């Protein structure tokens, strides 16, 4: 059994970050790389030459990366490189080596060498919140796609810092399902139902008796989601660490259970 992990923020969408691409097809711009909508990808203009996605967070940027996730792509079988640099001249690979990988089907996960998940816990110093891990901080990151045979596309390039709980949710957190149905009724009471999308999985989870500083750290992560508008990655507890693209269905609930001790309740739904 592993520990629950989650990844909320994406370097590409941070304030001050400049994202550039080699080229883009009309209607499939670079903004699709970080809009948190897996259905709409960035698509290159053509298959001519190598393609590149680059993010520059500026000389004063402090966002650290612990893991990259590449989703909604058509890169299967292509050789790619994920690299970072402080000057855009000398580049290093995400893996501590050349940074190359052959793209597989589905979500591509690339852990950054030497930078595991941070913990929103730990032992805080007196009157201070615990220091949060920042991952590998570099000014530039780039994804290079080598010799594509068709115009490459990527739904999301998620350069993130993931967090791992010191202890897991309590047992009994229920997985359920939420139908996506709109119901209208005529004056006589007859129902007209419209199915507006697929049924989504939901998860209600709870952490009991956590200190105030732990609650504050979770509130920081919640604030990064813009009141639930942004989905995020969640690795489950007892499902072989299966990864889910989730969203909040309501604000996090914090219940004071005793002095400086809180119970946190979070309701999630699998996102499209």
pLDDT at residue 264 in the model = 87
Task: Please give the angle made by the CA atoms of 151, 153 and 155, to the nearest 5 degrees.
Answer: 170
How large is the average pLDDT for residues 207-216? 80
CATH number 2.60.120.260 given to 5-164: yes
Task: Please give the angle made by the CA atoms of 245, 246 and 252, to the nearest 5 degrees.
Answer: 155
Return the domain boundaries, the chain: 5-164, 175-270
Sequence-distant (≥ 6) Cβ neighbours of residue 32 within 8 angstroms: 40, 41, 42, 155
Between 235 and 83, the higher pLDDT residue: 83
Residue 109 to residues 60, 68, 101: CA-CA distances in angstroms? 27, 6, 11
HEC string of 89-145?
Answer: CCCEECCCCCCEEECCCCCEEEECCCCCCECCCCCCCCCCCCCCCCCEECCEEEEEE
Cα radius of gyration rounded to whole Å, the chain: 21
pLDDT at residue 168 in the model = 62
Single pTM value for the model: 0.85
Helices in the chain by DSSP H: which ranges?
Answer: 212-223
Lowest mean pLDDT among 42-46, 112-116, 168-172, 221-225: 168-172
Question: How much of the chain is in helix, strand and coil states, percent to nearest 5?
Answer: 5, 40, 55
Is 121 a residue whose pLDDT tops 70? no
């Amino acid at each position: 059994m592993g520990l629950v992990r989650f990844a909320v923020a994406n370097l590409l969408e941070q304030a001050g970050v400049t994202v550039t691409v080699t080229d883009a097809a009309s209607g499939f711009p670079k903004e699709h790389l970080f809009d948190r909508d897996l259905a709409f990808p960035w698509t290159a203009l053509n298959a001519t030459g190598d393609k590149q996605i680059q993010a520059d967070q500026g000389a004063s940027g402090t966002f650290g990366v612990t893991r990259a996730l590449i989703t909604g792509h058509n890169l299967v079988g292509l050789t790619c490189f994920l690299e970072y640099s402080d000057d855009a001249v000398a580049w290093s690979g995400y893996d501590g080596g050349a940074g190359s990988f052959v793209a597989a089907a589905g979500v591509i996960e690339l852990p950054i060498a030497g930078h595991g998940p941070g913990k929103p816990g730990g032992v805080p110093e007196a009157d201070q919140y615990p220091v949060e891990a920042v991952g590998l901080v570099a000014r530039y990151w780039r994804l290079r796609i080598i010799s594509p045979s068709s115009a490459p596309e990527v739904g999301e390039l998620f350069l993130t810092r993931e967090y791992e709980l010191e202890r897991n949710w309590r047992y009994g957190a229920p997985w359920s399902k939420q139908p996506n149905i709109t119901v209208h009724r005529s004056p006589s009471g007859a129902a007209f139902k419209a199915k507006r999308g697929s049924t989504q999985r939901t998860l209600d989870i709870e952490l009991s008796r956590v200190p105030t500083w732990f609650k504050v750290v979770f509130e920081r992560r919640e604030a990064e989601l813009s009141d639930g508008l942004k989905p995020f990655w969640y690795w489950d507890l007892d499902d072989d660490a299966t990864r889910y693209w989730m969203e909040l269905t309501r604000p996090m609930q914090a219940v004071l259970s005793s002095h400086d001790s809180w119970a946190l309740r979070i309701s999630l739904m699998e996102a499209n």
